[in-house]
């Protein structure tokens, strides 16, 4: 059961913002015609399903080359800021926020010792939100400005804002604030600027002191799942200007690599993982520190995308275990595990209990989590992701899959790992019935954007199954009522559709 007070507050905020959503959907929210049968392929032809997502990824990466000139301008701006001994700050929400922290990790890992602190990534809710997005943060403008300042932003620093939809109030407010300083902030999103016009009357794309760049790379392989191609575009859009010597060459190099890599070894991995969860068993994702933040991102983002139980805190009295959990098996200290994950000490907001350092350390990724979880989540299996020489090696008990990553930079290597994990987890959950066609029917509507997406999916299925056209506001009210009764692993879309069809056909 959901917290009714939290849901009521979310509903209140949504009705205040809903006019912009009712106008028309964004490009990132529309179905991809190349993946209309993705859920069937996940169950009947995994090799074709893998290749289908792989082709969408390749198209998205190739599309990025169209923006290489603008990304070169961003790189020039970054270099100017560094030459003035100032910082680059990167902010985002949810998937784009985890990306911001990931980019900082890559910089700290690959950067020179005396320059490790001049890139700062932060996300709505602070580092606590690396595990689970904190309710309401993305929709509150004041929080964006407050966190920007707490992250150390000052005049002369460059802010790079990242948002797949281009509409997060948190990001918009932070960007607007930064535009009043001496360095124009960059606003990166994954729609076209034209698609955003009219949906928000006061938007940073109209601000001449903001450089807005729409990195539109096509629709998502799974409708609206911006953790996939949109976040890949943002990863390259921010990472390449920071790390690349030739942006266009690196884009083409990655596109060719992804086009030619043999991903068929994922088939047996997908089948095994799906069967483990079907049998009510659990998995530890054991990883090298260098891959930790990319592995964490994929495994945590499954929860809101498919309404799965998120990583559980060891501070909770009542525990609902997540299907999988991150593990750094080579350390037995929770603080060291977090330092390995982030490449630095955690930065928590400490505004309340939910954003405190104590709450963050309730998520223990050290070897101690094995014994703890074995007390309530057994049997456990081990999914190991390591780097050996020039190979990315996955060991999943009797299954071994090796991918040659020689010649790739650290950034491109992480991008390839991201694509492999996204492909595997998406098809695995399709195999378990967590979406229909390429429609994300099991998402959890934790903010206004996702509420609107949920309503549109309900509308599509109700119309398809009954021929009835029901007003947007009525669909919303139906959904909000069902949301208060929703359970983990249950589809809010299908639950609401069934209730509507039951009532409307009586």
DSSP string of 31-82, one letter each residue: PPGGGTTHHHHHHH-HHHHHHHHHHHHHHHHHHHGGGHHHHHHHHHHHHHHH
Q: Is the whole model's pTM more than 0.85, yes or no?
A: yes
Whether residue 111 is found in the same domain as residue 192: yes
pLDDT of residue 505: 64
Given a contact cutoff of 8 angstroms between Cβ atoms, the answer to whether 89 and 158 are in contact is yes
Whether residue 18 is found in the same domain as residue 135: no
Taking residues 355-377, report their average pLDDT: 96
Closest CA to 241 of 76, 109, 80: 76
Whether residue 323 is found in the same domain as residue 411: yes
- Please identify, among 205, 223, 257, the residue that sits at the C-terminal boundary of a domain: 257
Please give the Cα distance from 430 to 157 (Å, whole number): 43
Whether residue 252 is found in the same domain as residue 266: no
User: Highest mean pLDDT: which of 259-273, 306-320, 459-473?
Assistant: 259-273
| Position 41 in a domain | no
Q: What Cα–Cα distance (Å) separates residue 506 from each residue in 310, 373, 451, 479, 501?
A: 37, 47, 27, 19, 8
Average predicted confidence (pLDDT) for the chain? 93
Please give the Cα distance from 411 to 110 (Å, whole number): 9
Given a contact cutoff of 8 angstroms between Cβ atoms, the answer to whether 215 and 193 are in contact is no
Which residue intervals of 265-328 are DSSP H helices? 266-278, 289-306
Taking residues 40-50, report their average pLDDT: 98
| Position 123 in a domain | yes
pLDDT of residue 198: 66
| Position 53 in a domain | no
Residue 1's pLDDT band (boundaries 50, 70, 90)?
very low
Instruction: Please list, in sequence order, all residues whose beta carbon lies within 8 angstroms of the beta carbon of residue 45, skipping any fewer than 6 positions away.
Output: none
Whether residue 228 is found in the same domain as residue 295: no
Whether residue 324 is found in the same domain as residue 455: no
pLDDT of residue 471: 92
Instruction: Please list, in sequence order, all residues whose beta carbon lies within 8 angstroms of the beta carbon of residue 113, skipping any fewer than 6 positions away.
Output: none
Whether residue 22 is found in the same domain as residue 129: no
Given a contact cutoff of 8 angstroms between Cβ atoms, the answer to whether 111 and 332 are in contact is no
User: pLDDT per residue over 328-355, tens digit each?
Assistant: 999 999 999 999 999 999 999 999 999 9
Domain at 152, CATH number: 3.40.50.10490
Which range among 155-164, 181-190, 307-316, 486-495 shows the weakest confidence by mean pLDDT?
486-495
Please give the Cα distance from 486 to 347 (Å, whole number): 32
Note down the domain range covering 386: 262-431
Which range among 41-55, 114-128, 420-434 shows the weakest confidence by mean pLDDT?
114-128
pLDDT above 60 for 113? no
Closest CA to 427 of 280, 258, 279, 225: 225
Taking residues 388-415, report their average pLDDT: 96
- Please identify, among 257, 274, 295, the residue that sits at the C-terminal boundary of a domain: 257
Please give the Cα distance from 438 to 37 (Å, whole number): 7
Instruction: Please list, in sequence order, all residues whose beta carbon lies within 8 angstroms of the beta carbon of residue 246, skipping any fewer than 6 positions away.
Output: none
pLDDT above 90 for 256? yes
| Position 40 in a domain | no
| Position 251 in a domain | yes
Helix (H, G, I), strand (E, B) or coil at 419: helix
Helix (H, G, I), strand (E, B) or coil at 324: strand
pLDDT above 70 for 230? yes
Total structural domains in the chain? 3
User: pLDDT per residue over 59-100, tens digit each?
Assistant: 999 999 999 999 999 999 999 999 999 999 999 999 999 999
Whether residue 427 is found in the same domain as residue 452: no
- Please identify, among 257, 291, 308, the residue that sits at the C-terminal boundary of a domain: 257
Please give the Cα distance from 289 to 2 (Å, whole number): 34
| Position 192 in a domain | yes
Q: What Cα–Cα distance (Å) separates residue 214 from each residue in 186, 191, 218, 407?
A: 11, 5, 11, 29
Whether residue 464 is found in the same domain as residue 385: no
Given a contact cutoff of 8 angstroms between Cβ atoms, the answer to whether 285 and 421 are in contact is no
| Position 38 in a domain | no
Residue 447's pLDDT band (boundaries 50, 70, 90)?
confident
Q: For 372, how many CA atoms within 13 A lie in the half-sphere containing its CB?
A: 20
Whether residue 276 is found in the same domain as residue 404: yes
Taking residues 277-282, report their average pLDDT: 97
Whether residue 294 is found in the same domain as residue 210: no
Residue 489's pLDDT band (boundaries 50, 70, 90)?
confident
Whether residue 191 is found in the same domain as residue 124: yes
pLDDT of residue 317: 87
- CB-based burial, 169-181: b 16+ in 10 Å, e otherwise: bbbbbbbbbbbeb
| Position 47 in a domain | no
pLDDT above 90 for 195? no
């Amino acid at each position: 059961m959901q917290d009714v007070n939290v849901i009521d507050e979310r509903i209140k905020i949504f009705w205040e913002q809903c006019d912009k959503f009712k106008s028309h959907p964004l490009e990132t929210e529309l179905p991809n015609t190349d993946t209309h049968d993705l859920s069937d392929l996940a169950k009947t032809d995994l090799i074709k399903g893998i290749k289908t997502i792989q082709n969408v990824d390749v198209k998205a990466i190739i599309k990025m080359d169209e923006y290489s000139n603008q990304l070169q301008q961003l790189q020039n701006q970054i270099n100017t800021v560094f030459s003035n001994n100032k910082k680059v700050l990167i902010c985002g929400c949810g998937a784009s926020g985890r990306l911001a922290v990931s980019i900082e990790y890559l910089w700290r890992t690959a950067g020179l010792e005396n320059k490790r602190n001049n890139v700062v990534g932060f996300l709505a809710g602070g580092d606590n939100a690396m595990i689970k997005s904190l309710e309401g943060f993305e929709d509150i403008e004041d929080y964006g400005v407050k966190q920007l300042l707490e992250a150390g932003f000052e005049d002369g620093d460059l802010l790079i804002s990242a948002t797949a939809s281009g509409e997060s109030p948190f990001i918009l407010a932070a960007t607007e604030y930064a535009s009043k300083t001496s360095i124009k902030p960059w606003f990166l999103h994954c729609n076209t600027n034209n698609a955003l016009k009219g949906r928000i009357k006061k938007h940073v794309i109209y601000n001449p002191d903001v450089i807005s760049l729409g990195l539109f790379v096509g629709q998502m392989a799974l409708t609206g799942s911006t953790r996939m191609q949109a976040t890949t575009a943002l990863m390259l859009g921010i990472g390449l200007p920071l790390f690349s010597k030739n942006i266009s060459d690196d884009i083409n190099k990655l596109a060719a690599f992804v086009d030619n890599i043999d991903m068929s070894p994922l088939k047996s991995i997908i089948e095994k993982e799906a069967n483990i969860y079907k049998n009510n068993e659990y998995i530890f994702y054991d990883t090298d520190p260098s891959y930790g933040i990319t592995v964490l991102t994929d495994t945590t983002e499954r929860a809101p995308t498919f309404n799965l139980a998120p990583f559980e805190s060891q501070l909770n009295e009542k525990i609902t275990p997540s299907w999988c959990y991150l593990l750094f098996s080579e350390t037995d200290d929770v603080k060291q595990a977090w330092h390995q994950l982030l490449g630095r000490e955690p930065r928590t907001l400490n505004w309340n209990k939910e954003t405190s350092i104590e709450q963050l350390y309730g998520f223990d990724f050290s070897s101690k989590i094995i014994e703890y979880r074995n007390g309530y989540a057994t049997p456990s299996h081990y999914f190991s992701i390591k780097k050996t020489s020039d190979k990315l090696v996955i060991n999943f008990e009797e299954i071994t899959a090796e991918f040659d990553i020689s010649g790739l930079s650290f950034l491109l290597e992480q991008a390839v790992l991201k694509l492999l994990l996204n492909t595997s987890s998406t098809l695995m959950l399709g195999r378990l019935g967590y979406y229909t066609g390429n429609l994300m029917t099991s998402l959890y509507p934790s903010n206004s954007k996702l509420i609107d997406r949920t309503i549109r999916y309900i509308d599509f299925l109700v119309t398809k199954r009954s021929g009835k056209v029901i007003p947007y506001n009525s669909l919303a009210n139906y959904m909000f009522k069902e949301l208060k009764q929703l359970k983990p692993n249950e589809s809010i879309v299908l639950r609401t559709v069934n209730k509507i069809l039951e009532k409307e056909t009586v």
